[in-house]
């Protein structure tokens, strides 16, 4: 990886300005975009709960400033919905330009909300030079976000898949860990107080609810369509029956919840929890490398699959630095940036790029990444379960708050 970073630093400008063969015809306007972007400041609203991600964005900001004269400011969020609300308020006030947000890290129900209210700039992603590297064949979620076509209004940034992990020094061998939501409930009953999840609307807590919903729904196909109030109670009943059994045996008897994933990770490190989960297959290895978890932590997943999706960056309709935002999005798609992001030493977030579209040097850089002792091989991650339509999460979160939020 170190050799690649040196190589990419030397050739970074060529990678980012000379787009590969097959790029969209709209990329012919890229030199004009670069010229317009120079001197702009891009306010990037993105979750700030991970020090590794924050450091990665600091590195990206330095590279973008050096290569393109664009200043990247990371506005750290606890909840992406806060940024969505800002754009909603600006539109209601008639602020159609010079908005406070230039780029936003987004997917799922937040994308659905912004798209339905015309809060996003027109499709730009497929016109980025580095779009030509994106794996649109084997990773269809780069163009479909929680069942909704992105229409180029989001540029893919990374892949996510739900994985679980445990400290084998305390729980025993990873092979004995639960292989389904039903087995997890059995494990939690046998180990009271050793499992929990962040309270929704925290995205990782909501993800756990969606995983259980997908496994317990009588007909999972119905989750791919907008929720219908007439059938919601019947479809969701198995989920809430599951949670009614789980809650009394959770950490603090379900009377309190971890604030977010970092707090859940700390509870694992302290031995208060026995099993935790993340939406990044390399998270455990990354945490071990950072000294946040012991090197006895190992990952596991469910035999019949766990949720997977793509996360994106998008430009609000009233961004004051649209050209600069495109430059940032393009850099985040570059082989250099994607390889560094996939390395657990820096982040460990899986790439959205297709290896067969890259140069031999770039493919070698990805192949050389040390994924760490706790990272499952891609073939061991199991099937990918599709995300439900965003309306299901909105409805599930509201019902969860009524039942367990107090």
Residue-wise pLDDT tens digits, 6-33: 333 333 333 333 334 444 445 558 999 9
Structure tokens at 221: 């196909």
Q: How confident is the model at residue 379 (pLDDT cuts 50, 70, 90)?
A: confident
Mean pLDDT of 189-213: 96
* Same domain flag for 186 and 216: yes
Q: How confident is the model at residue 401 (pLDDT cuts 50, 70, 90)?
A: very high
**pLDDT tens by residue, 103-128:** 999 999 999 999 999 999 999 999 99
The H-or-E segment that residue 181 falls in is helix 181-190
* Same domain flag for 10 and 63: yes
CATH code for the domain of 320: 3.40.190.10
Higher-pLDDT residue of 122 and 289 is 122
- Counts for the chain of helices (H) and strands (E), in that order: 15, 11
Residue 3 clears pLDDT 60, i.e. is over it = no
Residue 388 clears pLDDT 90, i.e. is over it = yes
Residue 245 clears pLDDT 90, i.e. is over it = yes
Residue 209 clears pLDDT 60, i.e. is over it = yes
The number of angstroms, rounded, from the C-alpha of 150 to the middle of its chain's C-alpha atoms is 16
How many other C-beta atoms are found inside a 10 Å radius of the C-beta of residue 291?
A: 9
Structure tokens at 103: 């780029």
DSSP-derived 3-state class of residue 282: coil
* Same domain flag for 9 and 151: yes
* Same domain flag for 239 and 388: yes
Structure tokens at 236: 């969701």
* Same domain flag for 255 and 392: yes
Mean pLDDT of 124-139: 95
**pLDDT tens by residue, 296-336:** 999 999 999 999 999 999 999 999 999 999 999 999 999 99
% of the chain exceeding 90 in pLDDT: 85
Q: Cβ(156)–Cβ(288) under 8 Å?
A: no
* Same domain flag for 294 and 319: no
Structure tokens at 104: 């936003």
* Same domain flag for 105 and 54: yes
Mean pLDDT of 361-369: 94
Strands 144-145 and 71-77 come out as unpaired
Supply the mean pLDDT for the chain: 91
* Same domain flag for 400 and 293: yes
> Got the DSSP string for 311-372?
EEEE-BTTBS-HHHHHHHHHHHTSHHHHHHHHSTTTT-PPP-B-GGGS-HHHHHHHHT----
Q: Cβ(316)–Cβ(113) under 8 Å?
A: no
The number of folded domains in the chain is 2
- Identify the pLDDT of residue 377: 84
Strands 103-106 and 154-161 come out as unpaired
% of the chain exceeding 70 in pLDDT: 93
Number of Cα atoms under 13 Å in the Cβ half of residue 385:
27
* Same domain flag for 133 and 186: no
Q: How confident is the model at residue 384 (pLDDT cuts 50, 70, 90)?
A: confident
For residue 281, give its domain range.
163-308+383-404
Long-range contacts formed by 26-29: CB under 8 A, 24+ apart: 26/126, 26/127, 27/127, 27/128, 27/129, 27/131, 29/127
- Identify the pLDDT of residue 397: 96
- Identify the pLDDT of residue 303: 95
* Same domain flag for 23 and 81: yes
* Same domain flag for 314 and 304: no
Q: Cβ(40)–Cβ(323) under 8 Å?
A: yes
Q: Which residues, at least 6 apart from 87, have a Cβ–Cβ distance to it below 8 Å? A: 99, 101, 114, 119, 316, 317, 318
- Identify the pLDDT of residue 28: 56
**pLDDT tens by residue, 261-270:** 999 999 999 9
* Same domain flag for 69 and 204: no
Higher-pLDDT residue of 326 and 140 is 326
Cα dist from 175 to 194, 294, 300, 301, 374, whole Å: 18, 18, 8, 10, 13
Dist CA 107 CA 39 (whole Å): 29
DSSP-derived 3-state class of residue 225: coil
Structure tokens at 23: 């790029």
* Length of the chain measured in residues: 406
- Identify the pLDDT of residue 378: 79
Q: How confident is the model at residue 153 (pLDDT cuts 50, 70, 90)?
A: very high
Dist CA 264 CA 255 (whole Å): 15
- Identify the pLDDT of residue 60: 98
């Amino acid at each position: 990886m170190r050799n690649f970073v040196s190589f990419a630093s030397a050739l970074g400008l060529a990678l980012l300005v000379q787009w590969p063969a097959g790029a969209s015809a709209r990329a012919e306007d890229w030199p004009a975009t670069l010229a317009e972007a120079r001197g702009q400041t891009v306010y990037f609203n993105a979750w700030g709960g991970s020090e590794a991600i924050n450091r990665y964005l600091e590195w990206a900001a330095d590279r973008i400033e050096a290569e393109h004269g664009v200043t990247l400011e990371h506005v750290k969020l606890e909840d992406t919905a806060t940024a969505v609300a800002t754009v909603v308020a600006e539109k209601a006030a008639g602020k159609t330009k010079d908005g406070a947000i230039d780029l936003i890290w987004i997917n799922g129900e937040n994308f659905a909300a912004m798209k339905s209210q015309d809060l996003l700039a027109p499709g730009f992603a497929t016109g980025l030079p580095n779009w030509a590297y994106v794996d649109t064949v084997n990773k269809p979620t780069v163009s479909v976000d929680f069942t909704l076509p992105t229409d180029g209004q989001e540029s893919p940034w990374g892949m996510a898949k739900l994985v679980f992990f445990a400290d084998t020094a305390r729980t025993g061998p990873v092979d004995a860990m639960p292989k389904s939501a039903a087995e997890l409930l059995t494990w939690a009953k046998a180990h009271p107080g050793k499992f929990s999840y962040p309270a929704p609307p925290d995205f990782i807590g909501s993800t756990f609810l969606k995983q259980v919903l997908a496994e317990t729904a009588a007909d999972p196909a119905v989750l791919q369509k907008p929720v219908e109030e007439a059938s919601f109670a019947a479809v969701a009943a198995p989920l809430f029956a599951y949670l009614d059994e789980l809650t009394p045996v959770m950490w603090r008897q379900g009377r309190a919840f971890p604030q977010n994933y970092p707090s859940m990770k700390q509870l694992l490190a302290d031995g208060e929890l026995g099993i935790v989960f993340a939406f990044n297959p390399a998270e455990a290895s990354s945490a071990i490398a950072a000294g946040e978890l012991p090197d006895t932590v190992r990952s596991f997943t469910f035999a019949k699959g766990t949720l997977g999706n793509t996360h994106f960056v998008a430009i609000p309709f009233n961004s004051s630095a649209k050209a600069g935002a495109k430059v940032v999005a393009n850099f985040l798609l570059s082989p250099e940036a994607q390889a560094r992001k996939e390395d657990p030493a820096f982040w460990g977030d899986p790439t959205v790029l297709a290896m067969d579209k890259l140069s031999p040097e770039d493919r070698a850089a990805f192949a050389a990444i040390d994924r760490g002792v706790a990272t499952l091989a891609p073939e061991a991650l199991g099937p990918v379960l599709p995300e439900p339509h965003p309306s299901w999460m909105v409805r599930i979160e509201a019902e969860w708050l009524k039942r367990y939020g107090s």
